[in-house]
Structure 1
Amino acid sequence: MEKFSDTYEIIGKLGEGSGGIVYKAIHKRLKKEVVVKQIKNQGMALKEKRKEVDILKNLNHSYLPQVLDFFEIGSNAYTVMSFIPGKSLKTLLQEGRYFQKKEVIRWAMQLCSALQYLHEQIPPIIHGDIKPANIMLTPKGDICLIDFNISFFMNSGTVLGYTDGYTSPEQYQRVRNIKEGIRENFVKIDERADLYSLGATLYHIITGEKLTENEGKPDRTLLNEKAGETFASVIERALEQDPRKRFQSAAEMLQALQMLPKKDRRYKMLLARQWAERVIGCACLAGCIALTGYGVYTIRLEKIDRYNELVEKQEQLIAEQEFDKEEEVYREAVRLRPSSLESYYQNACALYEQKAYEECIAFIDYDILQNEKIKQNAKRMADIYYLKADSQFQMEEYEDAVETYELLEKTGEGAEMYYKDYAITLAYAGYPESAEKILEEAMEQGNNEDALYYAKGEVEKFLEEPKQALTSFQKCIEITKDTDLKTRAYLMMSELYEKEDNREQEQKLLKEAEASLPLENQMMILERLAQVNIDLAENTGLGKYREEAIRNFQKIIENGWESYDTYNNLVILCQKQKNLDQAEKYLKTMEESYGEDYNVYKRYAFLEIDRQKLLKNDARNYKKFKEFYEQAMELYEDEEQKDMEMDLLEQLYAQAKKGGWL
């Protein structure tokens, strides 16, 4: 109980039924809302069922909550699942909500998808208690099937409770046998029991009426009126008393739901009319059919070609950072082929490249993972999970990122490409042993040794083992042919030397990086090298380091990587090196490129002070200094942040005024 209270804080009770008591709680470390359900143990052996319990914790489906934990306290078992926002269908029914046929069919397909996933586990997982109270309607308009009957799962089909009006006939029979002490083995409960409960639930929400008797039969007239003949036939088949007459799998029921549009009455009438027309003009129509078939085939090829062009355009616009245009192209692509994954992936890449990490995660969750139209392929799904995981990492949601990497591993395609980032994330999430283990396993398998050494270095850096980290980064640099990875390894080593205040060694390392890396990889190296030289100049007072820093910044400008700070640093460095004319040239370029601000006039004022110091006292004139000072002060009034150099400028102005120089 102490372990429970250390991890979870109960907020309040959500409900109670035959299956147990349900509480809303907070996971203290993750700061996430969860649902804790107490289940009466009744002889369950948790230790003997550990494997099955772990299967539950590994479940992942868009329309199922995540099982986070499972444990025993005393005679009770507890499950912890992710909290699903929204209202249950039971609550909505009680509020008098009317459900449209179209939305009920959509939810039915989502439920079948979830059940298919559960039933295809090894061993199969039977939900055991499907009813409106256990189906949440989320704010996004999708459903989530909650409250697995885990007692059922762990006890090989033993029914520990049932809900009148939704439970299958065979479950009722099992309950009666248990109550009467009858030991019968032939009453089998399998996946088809869930399909009956689903049919009873659909009957209730579409008609507004519940099957109240244990073996209650649907009102066909009412059902046809509310659901239409084709949808009604699906529900009726799910509600067959004999399991052999029902759908034999959730996949079969899902297929029947997907075929509903083709079975619609109007469609049948259209087919009948078309058949009559074909009978009348058979010969003529035969030619038309051939032409139509060719036309359909041609149109399909044209659509595919156009779609591929749009995806290529997305890639191009992302490279050019034209993100608004990319989104327009993405929308056109998904309208053309809504089931194709590639355009969705490119749009996720666009959000990731913009560092819109939160939006990227939401897009992947709702537009890809919960989109039943999309045809997924394992390799691309691994890439999509990586985008989500690294977005979570960038937002410092390390636990969530680890969970996403676990899903990535399950795709089985290209997961080894991401071991490096996975290991780093594990370390940041507080699992250094797991991080080291995954790196060791990856190295034994011969996966990307250079990337694994880099990841090992990052893990060791995070664990504050600088010597080991430096060794790992150095090995990465020595063996890698990936210039981007090599650049990152150099930068990591630079940070380690900076933390140790070993600036001479850091300078030596960065010079080596500048000499060995191609030009396109040198920008960040040059920026760090310039800063190291500035710091060394301040620490030693030696002008040679400033000259090196000036050369670093000049190379940055030559390659078009300059910024406002580049020129600002050059002005200061040249001024300290007594090269006032060059400082003024850089200052004028800075003003022309970025416009005037208080800092520009502050720099002009300091330059003017130094110019006047070079003259004899009787030749000095501080008129320009006064003008620059006043312009700087006027613009500085609008600044919110304090600037220590402006305090110094005020002191110089006060001294000049006191000395009569103004």
Structure 2
Amino acid sequence: MRSGNELSDTYQIIRKLGEGGGGIVYLAYHKRLRKEVVLKQIKGKRFSVADKRQEVDILKNLNHSYLPQVLDFLTIDHEVYTVMSYIPGKSFRQLLKEKRRFSQGELIRYGMQICSALNYLHSQNPPVIHGDIKPANIMLTPQGNICLIDFNISFFLDENAVLGYTDGYTSPEQYIIALDKESERSIGKYAKIDEKADLYSVGATLYHLATGKKLSGYKDRLDREYLAERTSEAFAQVIAKSVEIDPKKRFQNAFEMFLAFQNVAKKDWRYQALLRRQKAVRFGLLIGMAGCLAIGGYGIYRIRAERVTEYNRLVAQQEEYRENKEYDRQEEVFEEAVRILPTSLESYYQNACALFEQEAYEDCISFVEYDVEENEKLNLMQERMADLYYLAAESHMELEEYEEAVEAFEKLFQRGGFHQVYYRDYAVALAYNGEENEAEKALNEAIDLGLGEDSVYYTRGEIKKSLGKPEEAVQDFRNCIEISEDAKLKARAYVLIQDLYEEQGRDLDQREILNEARNALPMENQMLILQRLVEVDLKLAGKSGENSYLKEASDALLTVIDQGWDSYDTYNNLVILMQKQGNLSDAETYAKEMLEKYGEDYNIYKRLAFLEIDKQEQKQNRQRDYRSFEEYYEKAKKWYQEEQKENDTDSEMELLNQVYQQVVSGGWLSE
């Protein structure tokens, strides 16, 4: 396949990157995502991607900092291709050719990162075996981290496929099984390849990086003395154990090897000498303390365990109250949880979520900046800190404080919050802050972390909206809605299309897109849609005088009440709409419900007074009775005088005063 060729409507080949036992690798351009990707044609037996749906889904859902993202699988002319994110940087094979030397600290860090990635792969169900770890398949990114590329997908998708081998890095069992498949006579020593084969390859690779010498084969013994000279005896011990010929003598899993790298410094002879000196000094003190610790230690442990158990119960209760919108009770439990375990962030996170959900955005920001950041008891390096900064950033976004939102996102990333959604929303904040180029970079980071195509369209729509390109933005939001299965994301896209139509004064288009959303989204995602629809219908009714808009708005408000999303304004608007449509009985019913639910205030009595006027006007003169109107009017006037703020007037109250004077002057009431 030559450069410039197109593979399907989505991918354009840029150039061939290489070819090996696993397949042919190309650099390609993804037209919809607008980014470079790696496209690999899998060699070996052909298989149906549709028949391997479970395995394919496992691979596409892989998401780890030190692995490329599997973006897609294609079957074209019976050939299977994988699409992965493109990883910038240099392979360790290139670095070895450049005579790059690596310190022990660097090698330990690389080893831990590789083991972290392998632990993640091996923990999948079924486990994903990389099968080809070597310097050429480990990238060093510009940020100084590794990325483990080109894991053997064909072996994962087809249990009958055979892993190849690379002299100097491949485990004995993998080497022998591969030869067995090639041989006419069975060699027959190993039955299968498992996770320990990858651990052998890690050790062999790090041996090459540390010494500059490659093992010539699995029978070649490593030069442990030379390796220890270049690093340390503790590091050499880890590598020697990982390349044992017998898999049973190696580390049992990647996490065990990770811990071994982590403890290398502690096993260093200099560290051990220091410990011995410290131990001698402390020995006398420890003898005296031993009896006390033996008596009290278990009791302290038990008390701490009970506190943690109680704290976890309270946090779970906070979350339950949040979900049920019982925010006052949530806050009470938060205060109790903090008293029991003041050093943990989890209860603080639940409380911040509660503030955000109530749209108390300023309070949420203040809570994170003062109650959390300025709290000396808290360890701000806990993982939850990134999530708290995300809530602060999103609160700034809601308040259209984009510069502050960008700052909050940057704090988030300093706490290790590397998640696709964070980068997606960071890109949006940057765009609205006028940083278009940085927004594109953040979006590309999100894509590299596995951001779905629907979210990519959504984010591009936000960026286009911020740049004043409404038609392009609408198209991107439309594309998001068309392909997304995420109801929340679709709801956001619908609302943003309505915002764009509102900016252009397209009232009928606003109503149309909101009704489309109402029909397309599950009920639990319709709250904001219904609120927006009511506003648009009221505007259209005011312009046209058509009752159909009022009826639609009323139905929307009744749905809001049925779903438990109601507020004071919901009832207030519903009473007004019912009255305008002549449904006075229903209007009165909802006004009285409002009074019972929210308590006395002048506005509710004002509504009831106006309803009484309309009710009496429908009667014959001799049947009219304005005593209830007078009662409501007097209560409205009393509460209005109590509630009225300085320079704050209500034109409807002035109108109600005029109506009252007309009723009095007409002789309907005795003065």
Normalization by structure 2: what TM-score?
0.57
- 1:182 lines up with 2:188 in the alignment: no
Q: Which residue of 1 aligns with 2:238?
A: 234
Aligned 1:138-537 pairs, distance under 5 A: 138-156=141-159, 158-183=161-186, 186-187=189-190, 188-277=192-281, 280=284, 283-286=287-290, 305=342, 320=362, 337=379, 340-355=382-397, 356=402, 367-369=415-417, 428-430=478-480, 432=482, 435=485, 469-470=514-515, 489-495=530-536, 504=545
Which segment drifts farther, 310-319 or 42-51?
310-319
Superposed CA offset, 1:320-354 (max 9, x none): 47979966987777996366222221112222223
The 3 A distance-change label for structure 1 pair 6 and 206 is same
Give 1:365 deviation, angstroms. 6.7
- Quote the offset at 1:254 in angstroms: 2.0
Q: Return the alpha-carbon distance in structure 2 between the equivalents of residues 322 and 216 of structure 1.
A: 62
Residues 91 and 165 (structure 1 numbering): CA distance in 2 closer, same or farther, change over 3 Å?
A: same
Q: Judge conservation of contact 2:385–2:412 (CA < 8 Å) in 1.
A: no
Go from structure 1 to structure 2 and tell me whether the alpha carbon gap of 1:13 and 1:319 turns closer, same or farther (over 3 Å shift): same
The code of the aligned residue for 1:353 comes to S
Structure-1 residue corresponding to 2:663: none
Stretches of structure 2 that go unaligned for 5 or more consecutive residues are: 308-338, 432-438, 456-473, 502-507, 575-643, 649-671
Amino acid at match of 1:346: L
CA distance in 2, matches of 1:367, 1:120: 25
Equivalent AA in structure 1 for residue 383 of structure 2? L
Match of 1:77 among 58, 64, 80: 80
Instruction: Give the Å deviation of 1:393.
Output: 7.6
The letter for the 2-side match of 1:258 is Q
Q: Which amino acid in 1 is paired with 2:248? A: R
Tell me how far apart the structure 1 counterparts of residues 377 and 19 of structure 2 sit (CA, whole Å).
Answer: 46
Question: Are residues 475 and 30 of structure 1, via their aligned partners in 2, closer, same or farther at CA, if it must alter by over 3 Å?
Answer: closer
What is the deviation of 1:192? 0.7
Q: State the SS of the aligned residue for 1:354.
A: helix
The CA distance in 2 between the partners of 1:88 and 1:290, in whole Å, is 54
Amino acid at match of 2:217: E
Q: Corresponding residue for 1:14?
A: 17
Deviations 1:59-117 (A, max 9, x none): 22221111112223346432110111222222222223332222322222221121111
Q: C-alpha separation between the residues in 2 aligned to 1:407 and 1:340?
A: 31
1:401 and 1:425 in contact (8 A); partners too: no
| Equivalent-residue separation in structure 2 for 1:334 and 1:206 (angstroms) | 43
* 1:593 alignment partner in structure 2: none
Report what 1:86 is aligned to: 89
1:171 maps to a residue whose letter is Q
**AA in 1 matched with 2:249:** K
State the SS of the aligned residue for 2:127: coil
CA distance in 2, matches of 1:181, 1:24: 38
Kindly indicate whether the alpha-carbon contact (under 8 Å) linking 1:311 and 1:343 is maintained by their aligned counterparts in 2: no
Amino acid at match of 2:531: Y
Q: Is the 8 A contact 1:12 1:25 kept in 2?
A: yes
Distance 1:425 1:269 in 2: 68
Distance in 2, matches of 1:19 and 1:145, equals 15
Per-residue CA deviations over 1:398-423 (Å, capped at 9, x if unaligned) read: 99699658999xxxxxxxxxxxxxxx
Question: What is the distance in 1 between the residues matched to 2:449 and 2:230?
Answer: 46
35-44 vs 123-132, which deviates more? 35-44
Change over 3 Å in CA distance of 1:39–1:226 after alignment to 2: same
Q: CA separation of 1:332/1:220 partners in 2, compared to 1, >3 Å: closer, same or farther?
A: farther
Structure 1, 272-281 or 139-148: larger mean CA deviation: 272-281
Whole-angstrom distance in 2 between the partners of 1:274 and 1:407: 59
- Structure 2 counterpart of 1:130, from 130, 133, 144: 133
Q: Kindly provide the amino acid, as one letter, of the partner of residue 416 in structure 2.
A: I
Q: Which moved more, 1:249-258 or 1:124-133?
A: 249-258
| Structure 2 letter corresponding to 1:494 | E
Residue deviations 1:533-572 (CA, integer Å, cap 9, x gap)? xxxxxxxxxxxxxxxxxxxxxxxxx999x9xxxxxxxxxx
Describe the shift of the 1:312–1:14 C-alpha distance in structure 2 as closer, same or farther (beyond 3 A).
Answer: closer
User: Against the structure 1 CA distance between its residues 281 and 47, is the aligned structure 2 distance closer, same or farther, given a 3 Å change threshold?
Assistant: closer
Tell me if structure 1 keeps the 8 A contact 2:495–2:529: no
Give 1:61's match in structure 2, choosing from 43, 59, 64: 64
Amino acid of the structure 2 residue aligned with 1:227: T
Q: Please give the alpha-carbon distance, in whole angstroms, between the structure 2 residues aligned to 1:406 and 1:39.
A: 24
Partner residue in 1 for 2:26: 23
Task: Report the AA paired with residue 393 of structure 2.
Answer: L
Distance 2:275 2:118 in 1: 34
Would the alpha carbon gap of residues 470 and 44 (structure 1) be closer, same or farther in structure 2, given more than 3 Å must change? closer
- How many Å separate the matches in 1 of 2:147 and 2:223? 28
Matched residue type, 1:254: F
Shift of 1:255: 2.7
Letter of the 1:354 partner, please give it: H
Match of 1:380 in 2: none
CA contact (8 A) 2:537 2:552 kept: no
What TM-score do you get using the length of structure 1 for normalisation?
Answer: 0.58
Give distance in 2, aligned partners of 1:428 and 1:239.
Answer: 54
* Alignment partners' CA distance in 2, 1:160 and 1:487: 53
- Measure, in 2, the Cα distance between the counterparts of 1:407 and 1:293: 55
Q: For residues 405 and 334 of structure 1, do their structure 2 counterparts lie closer, same or farther at Cα, with a shift above 3 Å needed?
A: farther
The answer (yes or no) to whether the contact 2:74–2:82 under 8 Å persists in 1 is yes
Deviation at 1:500, TM superposition (A): 11
> C-alpha distance in 1, partners of 2:521/2:53?
41
CA distance in 2, matches of 1:283, 1:237: 37
Q: How many angstroms apart in 2 are the aligned matches of 1:321 and 1:247?
A: 51
Structure 1 stretches of 5 or more lacking a match? 371-383, 409-423, 440-450, 526-557, 563-662
Cα distance in 1, alignment partners of residues 85 and 541 from structure 2: 43
Contact 1:64-1:144 at 8 Å conserved across structures: yes
SS at match of 1:305: coil
Equivalent residue letter for 2:396 = Q
Is the 8 Å Cα contact of residues 73 and 80 (structure 2) preserved in structure 1?
yes
Give 1:530's aligned residue: none
Query: What percentage of aligned pairs have identical amino acids?
Result: 40
CA distance in 2, matches of 1:342, 1:249: 28
Q: Judge which range, 160-169 or 206-215, deviates more.
A: 206-215
Between 1:235-244 and 1:42-51, the stretch displaced more is 42-51
Once the two structures are superposed, residues 285-310 of structure 1 have per-residue CA deviations (whole angstroms, 9 ceiling, x without a partner) of: 5379689989x999999996356599
Q: Would you say the 8 A contact 2:163–2:174 is kept in 1?
A: no
Q: State the alpha-carbon separation in 2 of the partners of residues 130 and 175 from structure 1.
A: 16
Whole-Å Cα distance in 2 between the matches of residues 433 and 500 of structure 1? 34
State the aligned residue count: 485
